[in-house]
Structure 1
Amino acid sequence: MTTMTTLTHSPVSDHDIHGSAARDVADAASTADLERLLGEALRFAPAYEEAMSNHLPMALHAAWELGASPQRLQALVEHEAVKLDAAPAAATVLPAAMAEPQGWLAWRGQQAAYPLLLGYFQRALAGAPADEVLRAHLPALLPGLHSFAFHGLIRCAHADESHRAGASTAELAAALATWAAWFELLPPGQAVDAAERLPLPAWGEQLRLQTAGWRCELGMISWRMQAASQTALYAGLAERLAPAPTLAQRRDELISFALDAYLHSRNFTLLHLITGLRALRVLQGLLGDDLDQRSAQALLARAAVSGWMAGRVQWQAAPTLPDPDRLAWPSLHAAALAQHDEHAIKLVHACWQEDGLRPDPRWRQAAALVLG
Structure 2
Amino acid sequence: MDRHDTNGTLEEALERLHSSGPERLGRLTNHAPMVVEALAARGQAGAVHRWLDRYRHKLEDFPSPVAPVTDADWPQALGDPRRAADWIAYFTRALSDRPWREVLATWWPRLLPGMYGGSTHPVIRVGHAVRALEREENEPRLTELAHGLGYWAARHRPVSGIAPLPGAPSAAASLDAVVPLPDPRGGFPDRLAALRHLPRWADEVTDPGTARERLAELVRAATHRYASHGHGEPTMLVHAATAPNAVLRTLDSLPRALWVPSLHAAWTATAAVTAMYAPAAPVAYAPPARLTAGEVLERALAHGDEHVIKFTDTALDAGDERALAAAQRAVELSEPLG
- State whether TM-score is above 0.5: yes
C-alpha distance in 2 between matches for 1:173 and 1:370? 30
Structure 1 gap ranges (5+): 1-18, 24-28
Does the Cα contact within 8 Å between 1:44 and 1:87 map onto a contact in 2? yes
Q: Out of 154, 159, 168, which is 1:181 matched to?
A: 154
Deviations 1:240-261 (A, max 9, x none): 7653454323312222321232
Q: Please say which of residues 112-121 and 329-338 is displaced more in the overlay.
A: 329-338
Question: Which residue is 1:331 aligned to?
Answer: 295
Helix, strand or coil: the match of 2:315?
helix
Question: Which residue is 1:76 aligned to?
Answer: 51
C-alpha distance in 2 between matches for 1:164 and 1:90? 30
Aligned length in residues:
321
In structure 2, what residue type is equivalent to 1:134? L
In structure 1, what residue type is equivalent to 2:325? Q
Pairs within 5 Å for 1:194-343 = 198-200=168-170, 202-207=173-178, 210-211=179-180, 214-218=182-186, 220-227=187-194, 229=195, 231=196, 234=197, 237-239=198-200, 242-244=203-205, 246-267=210-231, 268=234, 269-291=236-258, 293=260, 295-316=261-282, 319-322=284-287, 326-343=290-307
Helix, strand or coil: the match of 1:346?
helix
Deviations 1:147-192 (A, max 9, x none): 2111111000111222333342111111110011000001142367
Structure 2 gap ranges (5+): 333-338
Pairs within 5 Å for 1:35-74 = 35-70=11-46, 72-74=47-49
C-alpha distance in 2 between matches for 1:316 and 1:197? 19
Question: Which residue is 1:127 aligned to?
Answer: 97
Pairs within 5 Å for 1:86-125 = 86-89=61-64, 94=68, 98-100=70-72, 103-125=73-95
Distance change (3 Å), C-alpha of 1:127 and 1:335: same
C-alpha distance in 2 between matches for 1:137 and 1:266? 33
Does the Cα contact within 8 Å between 1:143 and 1:299 map onto a contact in 2? yes
C-alpha distance in 1 between matches for 2:65 and 2:92? 8
Q: TM-score, normalised by structure 2?
A: 0.85
Distance change (3 Å), C-alpha of 1:257 and 1:296: same
Q: CA deviation at 1:125?
A: 0.5
C-alpha distance in 1 between matches for 2:143 and 2:267? 32
Distance change (3 Å), C-alpha of 1:152 and 1:370: same
In structure 2, what residue type is equivalent to 1:78? D
Deviations 1:204-237 (A, max 9, x none): 3321xx42x724221x33432233x2x3xx2xx3
RMSD: 2.6
Distance change (3 Å), C-alpha of 1:128 and 1:241: closer
Deviations 1:278-334 (A, max 9, x none): 1111112344233383x54443333233211221334325x131267x210121222
Q: Please say which of residues 298-307 and 156-165 is displaced more in the overlay.
A: 298-307
Does the Cα contact within 8 Å between 2:211 and 2:259 map onto a contact in 1? no
Question: Which residue is 1:10 aligned to?
Answer: none
Q: Please say which of residues 40-49 and 303-312 is displaced more in the overlay.
A: 303-312
Q: Percent identity?
A: 23
Distance change (3 Å), C-alpha of 1:205 and 1:346: closer
> Is 2:143 aligned against 1:170?
yes
Higher alpha-carbon Rg: 1
Helix, strand or coil: the match of 1:136?
helix
Q: Out of 306, 325, 333, which is 1:365 matched to?
A: 325
Q: Out of 158, 163, 167, which is 1:190 matched to?
A: 163
Does the Cα contact within 8 Å between 1:186 and 1:302 map onto a contact in 2? no
